[in-house]
Amino acid sequence: MEDKIKRRIRAANYLTVAQLFLQNNFLLDDPLKKEDVKPRLLGHWGTCPGINIVYANLHARYGKDPNFSFVLGPGHGFPALQANLFIDGDLAKVDKKATPTKEGIAYLCKQFSWPGGFPSHASPLTPGVICEGGELGYSLATAYGSALGHPEKKIAVLIGDGELETATALASLNLPKLLNSKANGKILPILHLNGYKISGPTISGRKSERELNEMLRGFGYTPVTILGANPADFQDALVRANQIFKESPAHPPFIVFKSKKGITGPTFIKKVKIAGNYASHQIPLPDAKTDPTQLMILQRWLESYRFQDLFDTKKGFTI
Ligand SMILES: Cc1ncc(C[n+]2csc(CCOP(=O)(O)OP(=O)(O)O)c2C)c(N)n1
Ligand SMILES: [Mg+2]
């Protein structure tokens, strides 16, 4: 299962980067040329690799459970969400051009953040979306609201550490005290502790593990920490979360997922630290179209996911 999860993460990361940058040559059939890069680069990279890790792990454990759903707080990480909906064929159910084929990949990538195409953020056009995430703060409240009166539901909700600084998200931490009963569904909050928001560090990222855990305990949760991107650790944490729901329902689990912002992307550009820093938040290679060095870094970055091992032009995804 671990290998399967890792392969899915690689595929989703590739499609995320391709959506952000490419208007042609989507499978790298030829070396990248400046003409292959979109004229206006508009979107968010930094949050995406973390979303892809979370999605792949939840999909592996709960993908077949009809009562499970996922709420995404950082809706600015839309290319990651869209990549996952594309891989599973969920997008094709509402948009026939988005089939998981070579032509579908071209359509997905070209139309991302494009006039008349897909928006740059999650939106009502996104299949299954109940929280757009464009205005940060509502993911936790939306998830609890959706579970109200639905004891069969289980909802995982990913909250950005920047989002957790909004008044709404902070106040929503009180919700288990009001809604934690057998009449309602189960909510599994996952804090995406990547340490940064738009242009600076987050408060949660600057807290010690103990301070953060004590805060969550104060709101009635049982914190469960995941360090890094290893699927085995993530799966263990999901098992642990289930135990906590059963053994101590009055103190439900709250996962703290610590991973570097922009992980697997460029590390340094012009001596500026990108991965593991706020500089990865939006487009980490803003001059990819005009600067041959950045274009070369983009080519290597895309190649690093070895997408040709994950997608066959005749068979489709082989993950
Ligand atoms: C209410 C609100 N304030 C400000 C913004 C602008 N904004 C967009 S993304 C972002 C940073 C979000 O940081 P975080 O939640 O940590 O997400 P990350 O990208 O690090 O996963 C901000 C402040 C917003 N979208 N909504
Ligand atoms: Mg963050």
Which tens digit of pLDDT belongs to each residue from 154-212? 999 999 999 999 999 999 999 999 988 899 999 999 999 999 999 999 999 999 999 99
Give residue for tokens 């990538």.
109
> Which residue of 42, 51, 76 sits with most ligand 1 atoms within 8 Å of its CB, as the best mutation to test the pocket?
76
At residue 293, the pLDDT reads 97
- Alpha carbon nearest to ligand 1 atom 17, residue: 160
Q: Is the CB of 104 under 6 A from ligand 1?
A: no
* Domains of the chain listed by start with CATH number: 2-258 (3.40.50.970)
Whole-structure pTM value: 0.98
Give residue for tokens 């499978």.
27
Q: What is the distance in A from the centroid of ligand 1 to the CA of 35?
A: 31
Q: Is the CB of 133 under 6 A from ligand 1?
A: no
Q: Which residues of the chain, if any, have pLDDT below 50?
A: none
At residue 17, the pLDDT reads 99
CA distance 21 to 2: 29
Atom of ligand 1 nearest to the CA of 161: 16
At residue 159, the pLDDT reads 98
